[in-house]
Structure 1
Amino acid sequence: MSALCRLVHRGLSCRLFPGQLDVCRVAPPVRSASSSSPVNLTYDVFDGKGESTPLVFLHGLFGSKSNFHSIAKSLVQRTGRKVLTVDARNHGNSPHSSALTYEAMSGDLKHLLAQLHIEKCILIGHSMGGKTAMTTALTQPGLVERLVVVDISPAQTTARTNFRYYIQAMQDMKISSDIPRSTARRMAEDQLRSLVKEHSVRQFLLTNLVEQNGHYAWRVNLEAISAHLDDIMSFPNFNTVFEGPTLFLGGASSAYISSEDYPEIQRLFPSADIQYIPDASHWIHADKPLDFISSIISFLQS
């Protein structure tokens, strides 16, 4: 194979760099989709040389596939496995849709895995992505060899979040046109500050600020997120179980996985192990990346 080749397969355009990141985009980009059909998710592939089951990372609300790039590179080096990081619908470079439920996001993931001929994966999801991962494991257990749920549980999370304030601040933001990106980011952060108190959260939200023909806008679909925030904060009811090995990995400084959630975790995931990483907040992989990676590797080897 040449150093650079192009593959076009089922509407997906991928650039392959042997031993490096495979950059894959839907081509041409579609910015909207019907509410019932799956969307073609954008994703990046870090191509390991081993034949073991690939790892698939799903980000949280307002996140993107790039949140796990450094983690993915490390895991490829440490395990030899192929690693995918995926943009959820209405996030990153994936298409926008008026629907934003866990059933829909799980359907998108199943659609992507089928396109890529991945018959089984190790699914690792953070927050919203963790709920999508749980939904996938509970509805299509044959697709999931192992499951890692990062700082979220199959429970209502509304009381623990400030996402409604974040959405309001982002919707209220006004940025001048035709100004340097650095200036636009400063203007945006100044406007977010009144409702988003934490500097780290403001910086996280600002990763979604993009420039389009001289105008600045949010790449996330704020309208759909706002309309479906109750769905995102809740979790579907299931009477099925996922019997496969499962790790719930919480931040010790986070309230997203509490002892009140343990009975429901054990009901749905009878093989679950629950662990906490010290001095980590909700964004464990950003706060303690080495501990996070070590926990994943230990789980894979267990």
Structure 2
Amino acid sequence: MKLYSNILGEGAPLLILHGFLGMSDNWKTLGKEFADAGFQVHLIDQRNHGRSPHSEDFSYLLMAKDIKEYCDAHKLENCILLGHSMGGKTAMLAASLFPHIIEKLIVADIAPKYYAPHHQQILEGLQAVDRASLSSRGEAEDLLSQYVKEAGVRLFLLKNLYWKSKGKLALRFNLDSLVQNVENVGEALPEDAFFSKPTLFLRGGNSNYITSEDIPLIKSHFPEAEVETIPNVGHWLHAENKDAFFTAVMRFL
């Protein structure tokens, strides 16, 4: 699958993978900072997200193979792979399957464990938006606010809206496939997945996605892993405190 990407800067390749219902644009500001710091940054839309192709098939194995194909197509080696949430799961699996092309791994606020589905309300709201005939972003926000109370989450989700044709708004991601495959999003990393190169796990101090109890599991898959906490931020740690996130990543690199 030919993934869409936005490539910034020159230097060692740094591939950034967004989370569930996100897209590469979410990382544009940080991407520019990493590019200015001397990296060639690849902001990638994963399958069924952003401007990348849609597919009925959706699993971490497929998404990890998509990354390998992307690296082959762009002749990339010695890559640094950074993923947030769902993108972190993809990055973990890709690093374990293709360690010969991945030099370092950075995982933002997700552990290798199983997570129960917890996006139902959001997906219901997005389906309501998808079904409605909307002529403005304001109408979409009003409708989504009946399902999603947090303004920041609504803003993040509605970044996926675009003008499909004159007067017709649509969502970029493949909502049908994501709804059908939502069980796959919480899947644990396979027990035999292993990556022995330098790895950084960053967790939000106010987030419960990575707990202290998860650290032995992280170390069993990633023996060289460091786990660092960014204080006073939740699951969207890179958006909530961009500077602290950037500093932590640069210190590791």
Range of TM-score over shorter length: over 0.9
Change (3 A) 1:257 1:82: same
Match for 2:97 among 125, 135, 139?
Answer: 139
Q: Contact 1:65–1:87 (CA<8 Å) still a contact in 2?
A: yes
What residue identity is the alignment partner of 2:30?
Answer: I
Matches of 1:66 and 1:117 in 2, distance apart? 23
In the TM superposition, 1:28-39 aligns within 5 A as 39=1
Matches of 2:43 and 2:193 in 1, distance apart? 27
Q: What displacement does 1:236 show? A: 3.7
* Corresponding residue for residue 74 of structure 2: 116
4+ residue segments displaced more than 4 Å: none
3-state SS of paired residue (2:29): helix
* Corresponding residue for residue 202 of structure 1: 154
State the TM-score, normalizing by the size of structure 1.
Answer: 0.80
Structure 2 unaligned segments of length 5 or more: list them: none
Structure 1 unaligned segments of length 5 or more: list them: 1-38
Q: Contact 2:5–2:43 (CA<8 Å) still a contact in 1?
A: yes
Q: What displacement does 1:71 show? A: 0.6
CA deviations 1:102-123 (Å, max 9, x no partner) are 0011111110100000022000
Higher relative contact order (CA 8 A, sep 6+): 2
Matches of 1:248 and 1:291 in 2, distance apart? 14
What residue identity is the alignment partner of 2:71?
Answer: L
State whether structure 2 residue 128 is matched by structure 1 residue 128. Answer: no
State whether structure 2 residue 191 is matched by structure 1 residue 238. Answer: yes
In the TM superposition, 1:10-89 aligns within 5 A as 39-48=1-10, 50=11, 53-78=12-37, 80-89=38-47
Matches of 1:91 and 1:47 in 2, distance apart? 23
- Number of aligned residue pairs: 251
Matches of 2:57 and 2:133 in 1, distance apart? 30
Matches of 2:140 and 2:188 in 1, distance apart? 32
Matches of 1:259 and 1:81 in 2, distance apart? 32
* Corresponding residue for residue 169 of structure 2: 216
RMSD: 1.3
Q: Contact 2:115–2:187 (CA<8 Å) still a contact in 1?
A: yes
Query: Mean Cα displacement is larger for which, 258-267 or 145-154?
Result: 258-267
State whether structure 2 residue 64 is matched by structure 1 residue 106. Answer: yes
What residue identity is the alignment partner of 1:77?
Answer: D
Q: Contact 1:175–1:216 (CA<8 Å) still a contact in 2?
A: no
CA deviations 1:34-59 (Å, max 9, x no partner) are xxxxx1000011122x4xx3111000
Q: Contact 1:210–1:218 (CA<8 Å) still a contact in 2?
A: yes
Identity %: 38
